[in-house]
Amino acid sequence: MNALEKKEGSGSVIPAHSIICRFIGPFLSIVQKWDSQLSLVSEVIEEWMSTQRKWLYLEGIFVGGDIRVQLPEEAKKFDNIDKAYRKIMADTAKRLNVVDCCTISGRLEEFVNLGLGLQKCQKSLNDYLDTKRRIFPRFFFISTDELLSILGSSECSCVQEHMIKMFDNIKALELYVDHTNRPVAAKMISAEGEIMEFRNVVYTEGRVEDWMNLVLQEMRRTNRYITKKATFWYGRNWHIPRTEWILEYQGMVCLAANGIWWTGETEESFLRIAKGNKRAMKEHLEQQNEQLSGLVVKVRQDLSPNDRLKFRTITTIDVHARDIIEGFVRDNITKAQEFQWESQLRFYWLKKEDNLWIRQCTGSFEYGYEYMGLNGRLVITPLTDRIYLTITQALTMQLGGAPAGPAGTGKTETTKDLAKALGLLCVVTNCGEGMDFLAVGQILAGLCQCGAWGCFDEFNRIDISVLSVISTQLQCIRSALLMKLKRFTFEGQEIDMDTKVGIFITMNPGYAGRTELPESVKALFRPVVCILPDLEMICQISLFSDGFLTAKLLESNFQNNPIMIGGLRALTAVLRMAGKLRRASPGLSEMMVLMRALR
C-alpha cells in the first residue's frame, strides 16, 4: 500500500500537465476521464489507508480478547465492520488492477462508512477505558495498550508486570488461592525483595479496578498500623538496642518512627532548657552520636543486602538529624519557636487524629503511607534543605515547585526524596517536543484523583503553544484546591480531588531546544535554583553510612579529583564501588579501599 501511495502521488501530476498542453484537443475527453478516475483512486486509497489503520488497531482488541465480554455491543458492531472489510479485501485479491479496485461503484462511500463505524467503536472503547481509570486513577499512569492487556485478562496475575508503574518501587503482589478456593492478595513485594504483609488479605475477585482499590486501601491501612506499632515499641522497650528494633520493621516504617521520636526528643530538650537545664541540647547531641556509632558498627557486620541497605538509609538521615542538633548547640538555639527549628521537617503523631503529620514552617502535611520498599534516600545538604522549604511553602499556597539548574544537580531526585519523606507517590514524566496537552491532561487527572505528586522533567522542552493550554489546566486544578472542592470539572469531566496532590516542573535553562515559559505558567510555580551540590558533604556521609569510620579524613582525597568534575552521577558510582570493595575486602585499610574505588 505504501508503494502504491507513492506511485499514485507521482502519477497524478501527469494529467494536470496534460490538460494545459496546447495539443490536448483530440485527446481532451480521454485525459479528463483519466483525471477524474485518478482523483477518485487517490481519494479511495487515502480513505482505505485510514480505515485499515483503525481496523488493525481495533482488530487486536476485539477479536479473540476478553474485552468482547466487557463491551458486547461494540464487539457486535466491530464484527459487522470486520466482515465487510474482509469481504472487500477478498474481492481486491481477485483483481490485479488498482483502477478497477478503486472505481467500483460506491467503493469510496463504503470506506467512509467503515471509517465512521470504526471511529465510533474507538470512542466507545476510550469512554470505557476512561470509566475504568476514574474508578482506579492509577490506571492513568500506564499506557492504553497496557491497560487493555489488564482488562482483557481474566487472571488476577495480569497486574503483576505493571505494578512498578502504578506503585513506587513495588515489583509484585503475592497472589494465591486460599483454603476456601478464593483468590487473594496477601503481601506487597518491593523491587529489592522487602515484604509488607497485609493485616487483612484482599480478595481479588470481580472487576480488577475494584480489587486494586482494595489493595491500595489495605496497603495504606497496614502501613499506618505498622508505623504506629513501631513508634510505640520504640519508646516502650528501651532495654532493646535500637539496631535490633530496626531489624524488626520495614525501612520506611523505621524512618517515619525515627522522625517522630527525634522531633519529640528535640522538643523535650527545648523544654528542659526552659526549665533551667542548660546542657539539655548537648546531652541530646551526645545521644545522637551514640545512636550513629551503633548504626556504623552494625553496618560493618555481616548483614543481608536488604538489612544493609536499610541501615545505610537510616544512617544517611540520622547524620542530617545529628548535624541539625550540632548546629543548635553551636548557635545556642534554645527555643522551639526559632526559625532554625521551625524550618526543619518535623514529624508528629497527633493523638487527637491518631495519625502522622509533618510540619515545616507554615506547612502541615498528612503522611501518605505509600509503601515504597527500600528505594533509598538522598544525602541531605543545605541545598536539599532549601529546596524542601521552597516546595513545602509553595504547597501551602497551592502552587507548584520549579527547581531549575544544570543537569546532574539533583532537581528531580530532590523532589522525589521529599515525596518519600512525606510517604507519597511521585510520578516522573520526561517531557519532549512531541508532548501534547491531551497527554499532560491525562496525567494531571490521574494525579488529582489519587493524591500523588507529579514531576515533569525538562518541562521547558514542550512547545510554547502547548504550554499555554497546560497553564489553563494547571490553573483549573489550583482553583479547585483553593476552593477546597472534593470534586471539580477538569477537561469537560467531573473528577475527584485529593488535596495531597502536588505538581512540579524541572528545567535546564539555556540548553538548546528549550522554551521560555509563558508568564501564565511561571505564576503557578515557585522557582528554586539548583546549583552544584555539596559534593564533599555527600561523599563524607555516603562513606560514613557504608561503615567507613575515617570518612571525614577520606573525603579530603576526593578534593581536586577528576571525579568531582564529573558531577554527582560519577561520584555516586565511585561511592557505590567503595562500599562494595570494603565489604569484599574487610582486611584492607579504608584508605586503600578508597584508592582502589577511585582507580
pLDDT at 555: 57
Give the pairing type, strands 487-490 and 525-529.
unpaired
pLDDT at 345: 95
Question: In this structure, what C-alpha cell is assigned to residue 157?
Answer: 496475575
Of all residues in the chain, what percent are helix, strand and coil, respectively (each to 5)?
60, 10, 25
pLDDT at 434: 83
Give the pairing type, strands 525-529 and 426-430.
unpaired
- What's the 3-state SS for 257-278? HHHHHHHHHHHHHHHHHHCCCC
Indicate the fold that domain 2-135 takes in CATH: Butyryl-CoA Dehydrogenase, subunit A; domain 3 (1.20.140)
* Polymer length of the chain: 599
Q: Within 13 Å of residue 376, how many CA atoms lie on the same side as its CB?
A: 14
Question: In this structure, what C-alpha cell is assigned to residue 483?
Answer: 476552593
pLDDT at 13: 47
Q: Are 2-135 and 380-532 in the same CATH fold?
A: no
What CA–CA distance (Å, rounded) separates 470 from 440? Answer: 7
Instruction: Check: CB of residue 37 under 8 Å from CB of residue 105.
Output: no
pLDDT at 250: 94
CATH number of 380-532: 3.40.50.300
Q: What's the average pLDDT block by block, 10 residues per block, for the chain (599 residues)?
A: 50 54 65 75 88 87 74 88 90 83 85 91 89 93 89 86 93 93 94 94 92 96 96 82 92 96 95 93 94 87 89 92 94 93 95 94 94 90 91 95 86 94 95 88 94 92 89 94 94 92 88 77 91 76 73 58 58 74 71 73
What CA–CA distance (Å, rounded) separates 500 from 480? Answer: 13
Domain layout of the chain by residue ranges:
2-135, 380-532, 535-598
pLDDT at 214: 96
